[in-house]
Structures are given as structure tokens and as C-alpha cells.
Structure 1
Amino acid sequence: MNLMEIPFDAIDGVMVGNAQSEEGKTGVTVLCFKKGAKTGVDISGGGPASRETPVLDPTREDIGIHAIVLSGGSAYGLAAADGVMKCLEDNGIGYDTGFALVPLVVQSSIYDLSYGSAKIRPNSRMGYEACQNALLKSQPISGSVGAGKGATVGKLKGMRQSQKSGIGYYAVQAGNLKLGAVVVVNALGDIYVEGQKAAGLMNEERTGFIDSVQELYRIAAPKDLLSRTNTTIGAIVTNGKFDKSQLTRIAAQAGNAYARCINPVGTLADGDTIYASSCGEPVEADVNMAGTMAAEVMANAIKNAIESSKMEDAEYLKCCLNLPVCQ
């Protein structure tokens, strides 16, 4: 069966919205599921900044969530989920407990405080705006927008030798099954597309690449590695009919794309996380097929994130050569 590329918003049941700060170089992306979406998660990095991920444990109640929030701001950015919850409540979305409407919202954040103003972080207001934009059915946008606003890669030797990254999307259809990926690429390591290095650690003159893995072996204990200033976060969204345990498995298989495209990856300096959600009108599908598709689609979303962020490279270069604005 051939895979046909489709727009990410061709997947029913999910809506995407962004909000960001130009001064802070940070932002929020919200995936909203008005009717709820069963969701699993795989956390492979050693330093995640996250909220409510325990509710996705397959041993917990098998109910759906109403939003996945991806943001900048490190642990400070988790405040954005408060605004997302308020927006969902204002729009009548959530579980009616009999006393209040309670939306279920999970979140993961990247570390982007070293780009732009570290004092400006995603907050409740920014989260509300991103969720509102999602409900207004705004289009998914790749590049330096939303949670990808402050994303960077190749930071083993500091920001001066790193490169700009962002958020990317990719989606396919096989028969009636639709599956898409969104990813914010904010990696310590280098990014590879089809085996070729596409972004990452540069030499001091910024005239070419050097290898992050070889530098890691040489330096042994780089300062930035110990500061846990990275994380690649993303989500798989599908109309496949899966429960939480199967979605957790799909999320884990999607992580194979991280291993294919990012090196080094999953270190203690990363908080690498992938969600997997089932939404829309469910169709029967094989979990092994979906997991294999998820890895392929995620790899293409990573490629999209890198390619769509190059337009901001000149601005980023000015920042990196103008410390302490970019540290």
C-alpha cells in the first residue's frame, strides 16, 4: 500500500494554533481535540519539562485528553497550560464533573531561554491565545513559529556555533488511515536528513559543520551538556482506532525517527518526548503498521522543521554573534 502525502489539517478531530513573542523568541503551539483523543506518550530524554503526563499511563483510566501543549520556556513555560485550560472551559470543552468542566491538558516544553529574552516565557495569556487560534481553525505553520520560535540545534559548544531550527509537520494517508506528525526540533545534537547532515554544530568561523558526537567524545564533560538545555518534543496524530497502550507503543516507535535523524540523542541534556493521539472518525488499523508509519512521518516532520526555519538564519546569526543577547 502506497503512502500519499496529505496536509496535516486533513486529519479530522485535531486543530492547531500558535502564539509567540518576537522579543522573547519563544512561543506555544496547541493541538486541540474538541471531542477528546485517547493518547499515549514516550519520554526517552533524561530531562523532560512536562505536565500531566502520568494520566497517559496505560494503567490509568482509558479516557481522552482535550489538548497537547508544546511550548518554549523550559519549566516556566508549563504555565501556558493554565491558559489553555481556561480557553477550553470558556468554549465548553472538557469533562463535566457535575461541579465544573475540567479539560485534560498535557504539555511538554523545550529549553529556549538562551535565545532572545530569558525573562519572557510562555504564560497563561500566551497559552490562551494559542488555544483560541486553534479553535478558530488557523493553519498549521512550519518554521520559527509557536513552540518552534526559539528552537535551536547543535549546541554542544554553546550558542555561537549552533543553528536555528523550528517546528515541522508532515502527514500521510494509506487507504482510510491518516497519520501525521508535528515536532519541535531543539536538539543538543546534529540533524541528519536521508543520511546527510542538514543542521547542527558549526566550526568557530561558521563556515562548515563539525561532528557533535566526535566533539562529545573529545570534550568528555561539556558545560552545555550538564545544563540540560535541549529537548525535541512532538506528537503523532491519527484516525486509527487505538487504545492508550497501543498509542504508547506507536509513540515509542515514532522515536526511531529521533534516532535516525538526531545524533547524539536521548541524553541527560535532552527531554525528548513524543505523544500519540487517536482522534476523528476511527478506522481499524494495525498497530505495527501505524508505528512504522509514525517513524517515517516523524522523520519527514523533522526535515520540514529544519528546512522551514532557514529563513530566520540571518537574524539568528546576528543574535549569536551579539552576546549576551544570545548566550
Structure 2
Amino acid sequence: MSSPTSFEASEFAGAITDVAGLKVGHFTHPDAPTGCTVVLTPDGAVAGVDVRGAAPGTRETDLLAPGNFVQQVHAVLLAGGSAWGLAAAEGVMAWLEERDVGLDVRYGRLPIVPGAVLFDLPASGGRIRPNAAAGRAACDAASTAPPAEGNVGAGAGALLGKLFGAQHAMKGGIGTASVTVGGVTVGALIACNALGDVIDPDSGEVIAGARTEDGRRLRDTRRALLAGGLPRPLLAGTNTTIGVVATDAVLTKVQANRLATVAHDGLARAINPVHTMSDGDTLFALATGRVPLGDAAPGMTVLSTMAAEVVARATVRAVRAARSIEGAAGLKFPGRADWSPAP
């Protein structure tokens, strides 16, 4: 009996909301393929970040450095809309402040909301993008239920495989996964808008990415480049995979930053090429501290392995759940959920 793919196996199911202390909400714009996603940590969470892409769009990442003052965050924003989409964080902050959630700064409670954006303008057209109202709506929708995957939230307008031109790209999306070992859970939420192809790490199969000239087959970007294929000129920052990896373990800021670093190994397993000059790949790490790391609990080596694994799985799920859309300028972007390459 053949082994199932990483998307089909029940042991690979799960969601970032399996991590105690988190809620996730999406806002998907009704008039254009764009949106935002919020991961709420109302009781606070120790956080870290690692930015690997060369063209990031982020906010409040410096404060996550281990030597800096702030110790906990109260939400993480993932959004489309390129840098304009960072405005959605204002709505998240206002929503949290109204509920008295934030860092006590004597004159009020200041919600700490790091965030990152991806460039979804080829799909959305750029005139409609997430704003403060979108951030509020994502918070209103947040729950502990498994979040929807595919063409929702920050993944609504995500694309992938644009190295040979947007006309050959496919639909990206947002996905989630979790794994539990020794009573400790690690989960991931990934919005995949990659320049490269997405690959199932278990089978090595390219499951979505740049298509051939006739649009009926997958080109296999890695092999095409190594065979001398020439990529199209690209604007920096027009791609990017962003996400959150979270655990219920007790971690320090140093450990949380390390977890964000090794979580990128999961992107490297599932995306090729990755961390390019045109990507702003950014991963946040959250530790809600519900499970102490005692002698019998997994240590950082196991947690790191779990983090890379769930990031890879969530990336694959994001793409397998993506459905076809028509983007700006009439371009059609097939999604793997309703498209199969010709034999």
C-alpha cells in the first residue's frame, strides 16, 4: 500500500489553533482578491522573527530582537496589499485596546502587533487593499476553530510561480498544520505568495508553480533554470511567503527567535527557489507558555524539527486548497484544487 501524501494523511492534519492561547481570524475583501489574517494572543506570547527574503514589508520586527525591551506580543498580522496592507494593523491595535489588551504604559495599554505583508497586486489590481477596517473584521472573526485555507485572508490574492512571467503563474493561498510530540504542540499558518514552485517534500512532486507556454503543464522552475531558462525581469518585493509558527511551550525570546529561524527550513523544503531577491519571506514565532519544557518534554532540537515540519506541511496545504481566479488585466491564475496539469 502506497504511503499517502503529506496533505492526505490524517496524521498530518491539524491547525495552528491547536496551540492553546491562540485565536485566528480572516478578512477576505468582497470586491477583490485580497485580505488579511490575524493571530491573536490576548494573554500575550513571547515572540521572535526571522526575515530571509530580500524585499520584506514588515512592522514591529526590531522589538522582537532578544536584547530589546518588549517581552510579549498580543497579535500578529499577515496581510495582502503590499506595504499599504500594513494599515490593517491599526485596526487590530484599536480592537485590542478596546478590550484592555496590551502593554501597560501608564497612560493606557499599548497592543504590540508585529506584522508582515505580501504583494498580491497582480490579483487584486492594487486599488483595493486591507485597511484598518479589515484588521478589525479579522479580529471579529477570530476563534479557536481551525482557520479556513486557500483563497482567504492574507492568501486571497496570493500567487506563485511568477519567475517566467505572471501569465504563467498559479494561485497561491494560506494553509495551516500542527503536530504534537510529548504533550507539546507546534502549529503553523503560512500565506504562500512565492516566486518559486511549491513542492511536496514527501514525494518530491512539483504541485504548483510556473506553467509552460501553453499553460497546460508545470514547467519545474528549478530544472528550467538549471537548463538555462531565462527568468523574466521582476520588481523586487512582488512575491513573499509570510507566516506564523507557534507553540504552547515555555520559551525565552532567544529561543523564540531561534524557532523562527529554523522554521524557514520548512519553506526551503516546500518552495524552490526560495528567499530570493524578489521575495520578502518572513516568519514569526510565538510561544504561549502553556506547557513547561521539563525533563520529559521535547527540547529545542525536537521543537525545531516540529517547526520546520509544520511550516512545510502548511505551505503544501495552502497550495492544495487554492482555487482558480481571474486577476487584474484579465489574467487567469489556476488553483491546484481545480486544475490538473496535462499528461
- The TM-score normalised by the length of structure 2 is 0.87
Matched, 1:223 2:233: yes
Q: Could you say what secondary structure the match of 1:306 adopts? A: helix
Aligned partner of 1:52: which letter?
E
Note if contact 1:50-1:107 (Cα within 8 Å) is conserved in structure 2: yes
Per the alignment, in what secondary structure is the counterpart of residue 124 of structure 2?
A: coil
1:204 pairs with 2:178: no
For 2:300, the equivalent position in structure 1 comes to: 287
Q: Offset at 1:297?
A: 1.1
- Indicate the RMSD between aligned Cα atoms, in angstroms: 2.1
Deviation at 1:146, TM superposition (A): 0.4
Equivalent residues in 2 for 1:148-297, closer than 5 Å: 148-193=155-200, 194=202, 195-216=204-225, 218=228, 222-224=232-234, 226-284=235-293, 285-297=298-310
Secondary structure of 1:249's counterpart equals helix
Question: Quick one: which of 288, 295, 315 aligns to 1:302?
Answer: 315
Matched, 1:127 2:126: no
Correspondence for 1:141: 148
Q: Helix, strand or coil: the match of 1:79?
A: helix
- Report the AA paired with residue 292 of structure 2: V
Distance 1:144 1:99, change over 3 A: same
For 2:51, give the aligned amino acid: I
Q: Is there any run of 5+ residues in structure 2 with no aligned partner, and where?
A: 1-10, 334-343
- Residue 109 of structure 1 deviates from its aligned partner by 0.3
Q: Which amino acid aligns with 2:159?
A: T
In the superposition, relative to structure 1, how do residues 178 and 259 fare at CA in structure 2: closer, same or farther (>3 Å)?
same
Q: Which residue of 2 aligns with 1:94?
A: 102
1:108 alignment partner in structure 2: 116
- 1:303-322 matches, cutoff 5 A: 303-309=316-322, 312-313=323-324, 316=325, 318-319=326-327, 322=330
Number of equivalenced pairs = 317
1:6-34 deviation per Cα after TM superposition (whole angstroms, max 9, x unaligned)? 44322211100110113221101000000
Query: Percent same amino acid at aligned positions?
Result: 37
Whole-Å Cα distance in 2 between the matches of residues 6 and 299 of structure 1? 13
Once the 2 structures are TM-superposed, how far is the Cα of residue 4 of structure 1 from its aligned partner? 7.7
In 2: Cα distance, 1:115 partner to 1:209 partner: 20
Residues 1:13 and 1:324: Cα distance change in structure 2 (over 3 Å): closer
Aligned equivalents of 1:147, 1:6: Cα separation in 2:
19
Runs of 4+ in 1 over 6 A off after TM superposition: none
SS in 2 for 1:114: helix
- What is the TM-score of this pair, normalised by structure 1? 0.91
**Conserved? CA contact 2:150–2:173, under 8 Å:** yes
Residues 250, 289 of structure 2: 8 Å contact kept: no
Cα shift readout 1:52-104 (whole Å, capped 9, x = no counterpart): 10010111125100000000011110101001000001111111211121000
For structure 1, the 5+ residue unaligned runs are: none
Q: 1:38 aligned to 2:46?
A: yes
Cα contact 1:62–1:243 (8 A) shared by 2: no
Partner of 1:49: 57
